[in-house]
Structures are given as structure tokens and as C-alpha cells.
Amino acid sequence: MLIILLGPPGAGKGTQAEKIVEKFSLVYIATGDILRKAVKEGSTLGRKAREYMDQGQLVPDNLVVEIVRDRLMEPDCVNGALLDGFPRTVDQAVFLEQVLPDIETQVDRVLLIEVDENELIERLTGRRVCGDCGASFHVKYKPPRVRNVCDQCGGDLYQRDDDSLATVTERLEVYKNQTEPLVEFYEGRGVLEKIDGNQDIDDVSDQINSALEKL
Ligand code: ADP
Ligand code: AMP
């Protein structure tokens, strides 16, 4: 089973992914997390990706598709995976369709989480992320029990460099121009399901669970 989480930055994909992987026993693949780890480690991939990420631009397709293909080929993905932040361009989606037969799987559902733009800005600029386990919090909407400390692992929380107001604005623009065409692409494949992401975290989760239980 392959599920894709689609939606603008800040829509709540990572927040919902945590709940989905637990409930449906899927392997979680978030290209943003993989790229941030590469940047932190200073690997060749990280050095190439950094300049794009800092500016809120997409990392070139050829770098990203290799990562996803290799990860999907790993044995733990045999029972299914949840993709977050990939594909982000139509070319990436076409690439994904080409590699799926090799692992005998298909895209079962694309969950499009829709959120109003003002709310996205509020969510992104208030987001705090755990430097150790990647869990995400929000200063107002999902505050940790202890200020700047991760509820799950006790790690320190930090603000992502690309969650500054200037970069957020750029990322939302990039989403509209380069990623939104995927809505039509997956509508055409008959697998798109729209989720109202303006609701509370638990209500969004309920809507997602109903969509996935139908599968
Ligand atoms: P994405 O992975 O789509 O970029 P996140 O899951 O990291 O988005 O969520 C962005 C921010 O918004 C985080 O700080 C998160 O705690 C908060 N958030 C997520 N879902 C909701 C929601 N339904 N209502 C309010 N805040 C939310
Ligand atoms: P995210 O954590 O999903 O918000 O991604 C953070 C940043 O990583 C994005 O702004 C891009 O620079 C880069 N990135 C993540 N996924 C992709 C992708 N599929 N294609 C290109 N760039 C990506």
C-alpha cells in the first residue's frame, strides 16, 4: 500500500503522518527529513541541497528521486509506505509511477490536506521541531508540556531556518507553481481525496482515518 500526503507547507502533513503510520503500520518517508539529515551530516547530497532549501526552493528532481527510489526498495517497505513531501513536481510523480512496478505496488490514495493561506503562515512561523526525533510542535496550537523540550524524547526544540516569514512566503509560492499541478494529475488517476486541514488536529485525523479505512 502506498499513501501520499499532499498539501502546502504547514498543512499538517508531518503531524498527521505520525498518527497514520502508527495506526496503519506504514513506513514513513519524508523527503524533507531525509534532506535535513543530509545537510546536518554535511554529506555530498546535503551540501548540494542546502542552498535550495535555505532559499525555500525545491531541490532538483534528479537528487530527490534517487533517494525515494532507494528507500522504497528497502525490505521494510514491503507492507507499504507513507510518502510526505514527495512527489512535489509532476516530473517526480511520473518518475514514481515508473518505479512502482519494480516493487509491485501502486499509489492507493493521495490525501490532499487543504488549509487557508493565512493559517499556513501562522502555523509555519510558530512551528518548533525536535532536533533529535523530528516531532513537530507549535507555540500556540500544539505547545510541548515543557517549553522547548520534546514531549516524546526530551530533545531540544528549534525553529527551522526555512520557517522565517520571508522563506515561508517563497515556499508557498513554490507550492502553487510547482506542486499544485499534482492535484489535477492525481485527480486524473482517480486516487485523490480532499481533507479539510483547517480543523483541529484530531478532527483532521478522524477525516483521514475514514478515508483510509475505506481502502
Ligand atoms: P507540514 O508537515 O505539512 O509542513 P506540520 O505537520 O509540521 O506541517 O504542521 C505545521 C505546524 O502547524 C506545526 O507547528 C504543527 O504543530 C501545527 N499544526 C498541524 N496541524 C494543525 C492543525 N490542524 N491545527 C493547528 N495547528 C496545526
Ligand atoms: P519539507 O520538510 O517537506 O517542508 O521540505 C523542506 C525542504 O526540502 C523544501 O522546501 C525543499 O527545499 C526540500 N524538499 C523536500 N522534499 C522535496 C521534494 N520532493 N522535491 C524537492 N525538494 C524537496
Say which residue the cell 554535511 belongs to: 42
Which residues share a beta bridge with 25?
A: none
Domains of the chain are 2-115+178-213 (3.40.50.300)
Nearest CA to ligand 1 atom 6: 12
Out of 13, 36, 50, 123, the active site residue is 13
Task: Classify strands 81-84 and 136-138 as parallel, antiparallel or unpaired.
Answer: unpaired
Distance 167 CA to ligand 1 centre (A): 17
Tell me the pLDDT band of 171, cut-offs 50, 70 and 90: very high
Mean pLDDT of 122-130: 97
Q: Inform me whether the pLDDT recorded for 44 exceeds 90.
A: yes
Q: Inform me whether the pLDDT recorded for 160 exceeds 90.
A: yes
Out of 19, 48, 71, 160, the active site residue is 160
Secondary structure E strands in 35-181: 81-84, 107-114, 127-130, 136-138, 157-158
Give the span between the Cα atoms of 212 and 157, in whole angstroms: 31
**Which three three-digit cell numbers place residue 73?**
526498495
Q: Which of 93, 87, 77 is nearest to 31 (CA)?
A: 87
Distance 123 CA to ligand 1 centre (A): 6
Give the span between the Cα atoms of 85 and 51, in whole angstroms: 18
Query: What CA dihedral angle connects 77, 133, 139 and 124, to 10 degrees?
Result: -50
Say yes or no: CB of residue 83 within 6 Å of ligand 2: no
Nearest CA to ligand 2 atom 6: 32
Mean pLDDT of 31-39: 96
Q: Inform me whether the pLDDT recorded for 121 exceeds 90.
A: yes
pLDDT of residue 84: 98
Q: Inform me whether the pLDDT recorded for 212 exceeds 90.
A: yes
pLDDT of residue 86: 98
pLDDT of residue 214: 87
Give catalytic status of residue 142 as yes or no: no
Give catalytic status of residue 13 as yes or no: yes
Atom of ligand 1 nearest to the CA of 128: 14
* Upper half-sphere CA count for residue 25 (Cβ side, 13 Å): 3
Tell me the pLDDT band of 173, cut-offs 50, 70 and 90: very high
Mean pLDDT of 11-36: 96
Mean pLDDT of 143-172: 97
Quick one: 5 exposed, middle or buried, by C-beta within 10 A (0-12, 13-18, 19+)?
buried
Out of 36, 50, 127, 128, the active site residue is 127
Say which residue the cell 493561506 belongs to: 117
Atom of ligand 1 nearest to the CA of 15: 6
Mean pLDDT of 105-123: 97
